[in-house]
Amino acid sequence: MPNRETIHIPDNFSRWEIYNLYKEYAEGAEGHGQFITYQYFVKVWKKEFNNVRIPKKTRMGICSTCASLK
């Protein structure tokens, strides 16, 4: 909807892949390997970032920009 502030992440990412990126960042930034579980990550996503969406997979291929981001 044009009147909503929805953010769409490229559809070649899944929540699990985004969690793994977060986990790698947390391990590197914190230095002592403390990070939240995947279940809690999903709860936080739904509660605090409910405007961030991953569109359903398209049947078309992915663009070169999306492939390079991944």
**64 within domain boundaries:** yes
The CA distance from 24 to 54, in Å, is 20
pLDDT in tens, 11-32: 778 889 999 988 888 887 766 7
Q: To 10 degrees, what angle do helices 15-30 and 38-48 make?
A: 110
Its pTM surpasses 0.85: no
Parent domain of 33: 7-69
pLDDT in tens, 32-63: 767 889 999 999 999 998 888 888 766 566 66
What's the total number of domains in the chain? 1
**18 within domain boundaries:** yes
**42 within domain boundaries:** yes
**2 within domain boundaries:** no
